[in-house]
C-alpha cells in the first residue's frame, strides 16, 4: 500500500558538501513549499531561488527550489526538490521545519518503493536503480542501465504474454472439447510451449554471467609457500594487502582485496601456502584456502620452477611462474612474472582482465542478474516441463497458471508484498 504520508530525505551523499539535495514526495509537498518560501512557490518544473524560513520566520537557508506536480514524477506523486547548502546544520534545520509541517523522514528505498507501487516502474527496474547506485565499474553500470531501460523486464513480460495466450488456448480446449476449434490450436499450443521452454532454459544457462558481473568475481591465488603469492597480490593491488615474509607459512588465513579487472570487480584471495603441516592453525588456513579455490571463478596458480607443482586440478586455472628475475625457464602456457621487478605484470593483468570479461560478457538479450529471478524462472521452467508432459488438459492449465505466477513475481505483477520489504530495505535513504 502507498501511504498518504509526505516524506522527505537528503538524496545526495552524507557529510559536508557544497550542495545537498532534499527530496520531498507526497500530498503535502506544495503546502510545505509554500510555507517554507513564504507563499512564493516557483512555476512547476522551473527552478526558483528562495529564502527558506521556518514557522518562526527564521531564515534556514537560501536554496534553489523545484516544484514537481504529479503524476509525471519519479514517485508518481507530487514532489519537490530543495538544493540546500550542504552543511549538516542546514539539513537538520530544514528537516525540523518539514516535520513541524507534518512531513516525516523517508525510510530507506521509500521513494523507489512508491515509484513501483504507483506503477512508474516494475520491480526489475527498481532493482536496476539499486544496482546503478551500487555500480563500481563501467561494465556494472552498463548492465544496470540496460535493466533500468526496461530491456530485461520486457523479456519477462513477453514471456508472460505468451503464457497468457497459451492459457487462453488451453481454456478453450477444456471448455469446448467437442466444438469446432481449429485443429491447429492444440499443435500451436504445444509448439509455443516448446519454444518458451527453450528460451527460458537458454536464459538460465548463462554460466551466471549477469549475476557474476553484479556481485563481482573471485580469483584465488594458490601455490606452495614462499613462491611470492602475497608479493604478487600486493603488486596487482598496488598496495600492501598481504604480509610478505621470507619464512614459509606466514599467510595463515585467506586475505582478500578487491580490484577492477577489465571493468569487472574482482576479489583477489591470497590463500595460505598449500603444504602439509603439523601446525594446527596453519592446517586450518590450508583447508580454507582449498575451499576458497574450489569456489573461485579463476584459480591463479603461482609457482617457481624450483618448486614442484601442486597436484590440484581446477577447470579454470591460470599458471604463473614467479621470480622470473632469477632466470629460471618458464614452461609453455605459463606466464612468467617477477613480483619483485614488475616484469610480466602487464601481461598478467591483461590476461586476468580478459578472463574477467570472458566470465561476465554476454551478447544478445540482457542477462539474468539476480538469484531471485533465477529461482522464479527455475520454478516456471519446472511447471512448463510438467505442462509438456501431462496429457490431462486441466492439469496442464494449472501448470501454465503456476508458471505465469512465477514469472509475474519477477516483474512484481503478482504477490510481491513479502519481497518488497527485503528489496527496498537494501536501498539508501533518499532513493
- CB closer to ligand GDP out of 15 and 246: 246
Instruction: Out of 251, 257, 271, 411, name the contact with ligand GDP by CB under 6 A.
Output: 251
Q: CB of 224: closest distance to ligand GDP in angstroms?
A: 7
Stretch that binds ligand GDP, among 54-62, 211-219, 240-248, 413-421 (CB under 6 A): 240-248
Stretch that binds ligand GDP, among 30-38, 96-104, 245-253, 360-368 (CB under 6 A): 245-253
Give the angle subtended at the CA of 217 by the CAs of 212 and 219, to the nearest 5°: 150
- CB closer to ligand GDP out of 262 and 273: 273
- CB closer to ligand GDP out of 250 and 385: 250
225 binds ligand GDP, rule: CB under 6 A:
yes
Q: CB of 349: closest distance to ligand GDP in angstroms?
A: 15
245 binds ligand GDP, rule: CB under 6 A:
yes
106, three cell numbers? 523517508
227 binds ligand GDP, rule: CB under 6 A:
yes
Q: CB of 283: closest distance to ligand GDP in angstroms?
A: 16
Q: Which long-range contacts does 342-345 make (Cβ < 8 Å, 24+ apart)?
A: 342/235, 345/235, 345/236
Residue 259 and residue 228: Cα distance in Å, rounded? 19
- CB closer to ligand GDP out of 187 and 281: 281
Residue with cell 551478447: 363
- CB closer to ligand GDP out of 326 and 354: 326
Q: CB-side exposure of 213: number of CA atoms within 13 Å?
A: 28
Residue 176 and residue 310: Cα distance in Å, rounded? 69
- CB closer to ligand GDP out of 233 and 423: 233
Residue 354 and residue 263: Cα distance in Å, rounded? 10
344 binds ligand GDP, rule: CB under 6 A:
no
Q: CB of 123: closest distance to ligand GDP in angstroms?
A: 45
Instruction: Out of 229, 373, 374, 431, name the contact with ligand GDP by CB under 6 A.
Output: 229
Q: CB of 84: closest distance to ligand GDP in angstroms?
A: 50
Instruction: Out of 226, 257, 303, 411, name the contact with ligand GDP by CB under 6 A.
Output: 226
- CB closer to ligand GDP out of 50 and 323: 323
Residue nearest to ligand GDP (CB): 228
103, three cell numbers? 512531513
Does the bond joining 143 to the residue before it have cis omega, within 30 degrees of 0? no
Instruction: Out of 145, 340, 353, 402, name the contact with ligand GDP by CB under 6 A.
Output: 340
72, three cell numbers? 509525471
Size of the site for ligand GDP (CB under 6 A): 20
Q: CB of 262: closest distance to ligand GDP in angstroms?
A: 24
Instruction: Out of 39, 182, 246, 327, name the contact with ligand GDP by CB under 6 A.
Output: 246
| Positions 272 through 331 that interact with ligand GDP (CB under 6 A) | 273, 322-323, 325-326
Q: CB of 268: closest distance to ligand GDP in angstroms?
A: 12
Instruction: Out of 231, 257, 369, 411, name the contact with ligand GDP by CB under 6 A.
Output: 231
- CB closer to ligand GDP out of 95 and 250: 250
Residue 166 and residue 173: Cα distance in Å, rounded? 11
- CB closer to ligand GDP out of 228 and 408: 228
Binding residues for ligand GDP (CB under 6 A): 225-231, 244-246, 250-251, 273, 322-323, 325-326, 338-340
Amino acid at each position: 500500500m502507498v501511504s498518504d504520508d509526505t516524506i522527505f530525505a537528503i538524496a545526495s551523499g552524507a557529510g559536508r558538501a557544497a550542495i545537498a539535495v532534499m527530496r520531498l514526495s507526497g500530498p503535502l509537498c506544495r503546502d510545505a513549499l509554500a510555507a517554507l518560501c513564504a507563499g512564493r512557490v516557483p512555476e512547476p518544473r522551473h527552478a526558483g531561488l528562495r529564502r527558506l524560513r521556518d514557522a518562526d520566520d527564521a531564515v534556514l537557508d537560501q536554496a534553489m527550489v523545484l516544484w514537481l506536480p504529479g503524476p509525471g514524477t519519479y514517485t508518481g506523486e507530487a514532489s519537490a526538490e530543495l538544493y540546500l547548502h550542504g552543511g549538516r546544520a542546514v539539513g537538520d534545520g530544514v528537516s525540523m521545519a518539514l516535520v513541524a509541517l507534518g512531513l516525516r523522514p523517508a525510510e530507506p528505498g521509500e521513494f523507489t518503493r512508491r515509484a513501483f507501487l504507483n506503477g512508474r516502474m516494475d520491480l526489475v527496474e527498481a532493482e536496476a536503480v539499486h544496482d546503478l547506485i551500487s555500480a563500481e565499474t563501467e561494465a556494472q553500470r552498463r548492465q544496470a542501465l540496460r535493466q533500468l531501460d526496461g530491456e530485461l523486464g520486457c523479456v519477462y513480460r513477453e514471456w508472460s504474454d505468451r503464457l497468457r495466450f497459451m492459457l487462453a488456448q488451453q481454456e478453450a480446449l477444456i471448455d469446448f472439447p467437442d466444438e469446432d476449434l481449429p485443429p491447429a490450436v492444440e499443435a500451436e499450443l504445444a509448439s509455443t510451449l516448446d519454444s518458451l521452454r527453450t528460451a527460458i532454459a537458454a536464459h538460465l544457462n548463462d554460466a551466471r554471467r549477469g549475476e557474476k558481473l553484479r556481485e563481482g568475481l573471485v580469483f584465488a591465488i594458490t601455490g606452495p609457500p614462499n613462491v611470492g603469492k602475497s608479493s604478487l597480490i600486493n603488486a596487482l593491488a598496488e598496495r600492501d594487502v598481504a604480509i610478505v615474509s621470507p619464512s614459509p607459512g606466514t599467510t595463515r588465513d585467506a586475505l582478500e582485496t578487491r580490484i577492477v579487472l577489465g571493468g569487472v570487480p574482482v576479489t583477489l584471495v591470497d590463500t595460505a601456502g598449500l603444504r602439509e603441516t603439523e601446525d594446527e592453525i596453519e592446517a586450518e588456513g590450508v583447508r580454507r584456502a582449498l575451499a576458497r579455490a574450489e569456489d573461485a571463478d579463476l584459480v591463479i596458480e603461482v609457482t617457481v620452477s624450483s618448486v614442484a607443482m601442486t597436484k590440484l586440478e581446477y577447470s579454470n586455472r591460470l599458471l604463473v611462474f614467479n621470480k622470473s628475475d632469477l632466470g629460471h625457464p618458464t614452461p609453455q602456457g605459463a606466464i612468467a612474472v617477477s613480483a619483485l621487478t614488475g616484469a610480466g605484470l602487464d601481461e598478467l593483468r591483461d590476461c586476468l582482465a580478459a578472463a574477467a570479461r570472458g566470465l561476465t560478457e554476454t551478447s544478445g538479450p540482457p542477462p539474468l542478474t539476480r538469484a531471485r529471478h533465477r529461482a522464479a524462472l527455475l520454478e516456471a521452467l519446472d511447471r512448463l516441463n510438467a505442462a509438456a508432459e501431462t496429457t490431462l488438459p486441466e492439469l496442464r492449465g494449472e501448470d501454465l497458471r503456476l508458471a505465469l505466477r512465477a514469472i509475474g513475481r519477477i516483474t512484481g505483477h503478482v504477490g510481491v508484498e513479502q519481497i518488497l520489504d527485503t528489496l527496498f530495505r537494501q536501498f539508501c535513504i533518499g532513493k
